[in-house]
A and B are shown apart, each in its own frame.
Chain A
């Protein structure tokens, strides 16, 4: 199933279930242990220098996947291989080196910076702990990093509360870049920002990616943003990838019924693309109770008996992507009618 010759990341069957604490009543009544099934068998490859967009509804496991990649969460089963090494085996300095190479930018710019450290201290600490620069060269490097994210140099002496949300997000980017990573995981990078500021931050990220040759995992729920940013896009539904493919192909001609519904739910500025048909019916099932078979069958207009029992696997599509649907061909056909 290898699409790329030398993927930077290769994720196999990644599963993460959070067990719920069982109360005394559950134990007495012999209720089975319940768990939140956040990720249910993710298979994914990310190649060097590419931007992979991850989209899906709230609660589908996007952020959980991002946090697994930087080892903030440990998966229940499955492996993440980074440059052909299983990241779960990294300990001590190896783990530190891994985290130096794979950095994360957080969603909330107000809680992701220590309120009691100046921007200079935040950057200096990163440079010092990872011994990126000798002590005498650190102030120059801090100035360089601030230039890189377009912040004035006197920002180093200020505390985070003196900055706006967009500026704080750029400080977060500078902190991640301080350790010269090769991969950035951006979890909802701009969802907490004003639209006018979103573009600035996203374009900065794109420029930096090109300049530094970064691999970017862009987790977002804003579809237009993901289309603008990504080379590849993966659509996640209830902790499984339902469709993955080159960004343009996927957005122009989505194959999986869920991708179709998700994309048609996005508002469009083009009047000809407007429609009154409800994009999708029903509610997202609880991850406590993931349906058997295809996770989407409860809401899918094409569902048949087979969908309720057998979970579809990702299958290559003629357009270059992959989709996990028993009716992939039918669904494309119906779309063309």
Chain B
């Protein structure tokens, strides 16, 4: 059996039939599907070691705590952080960005200060910074894009000032698939003494991440975009930042001692994990990481590159198609429009042929505004997608054209 077919066997949901058609799941940028080992890990946790962590002295609690901390260690290794203390579990990337925008800014952002983001960010890497700027009287500065919708790095230097307190940028664009030159951006920020947050939501499933090599200050991850469960993610932050930042939320777990006069906070990372965490999801995310690590990365990278090339080739044969975002360096995400047909209509019609794609602005309204459209149809691939999925999409697009133009 070929390698990809073998991988497909690990994902039960891929066998789903939609309206009499084999499911072609091409909405992986929204969320990836889960392999059997991840589903089993959730089941096993609740069936064998479910207990609250860090507070019990009994058998189950000790086991749950160990498995939970083991998951933290797996995330640490996955992004090559220096210590598990630098990994804070969150609900996902959104909460991780909010944690920094809230906690870091409370400590370091003052009236008149500036934060830099880019025009191609997901709303979750825009709105938390807008809120922080509003709260502290700071200004948001936006790095513009080039004509091909890539970050215009020639404009970056002039954005830095002595007032710049943070630069936040995504590793990979969820709308267009562009892999941003974050290494270069980080070194420019470093030269200007500005800390950097990288939104890694789209990177986990496609790109090798090494936070020490990148030398970023913050990096955010979502488990569900890299074959793990929903509701769990992580914030990586350099230890020195976590030590200087005030807590994000108050509650159990994040304290050492509470009196009505004084509270002593727990050690990092626990200082940032108020309340009972999503233990089962963390452990199952660890299982997803184990699963990913055991795969042949070279084979998968080759497969995904080949798939992107094949998809672009086949789709470009569809009359009236326009692509958005064709960077040299990109993950297998294709954003497109079909003549004057609204993306929502495209999405509904291809669904009747078993094809799942995302349509709309992809939570990137400022980017869509810049392009001058209200949204796109987006096919986003994962390692388990095949050329057959691409063919099925192309056939479904022919049906879209039949409905609207009466011909193929």
> A and B from one assembly?
no
Chain B residues packing against A (C-beta within 8 Å): none
Chain A residues packing against B (C-beta within 8 Å): none
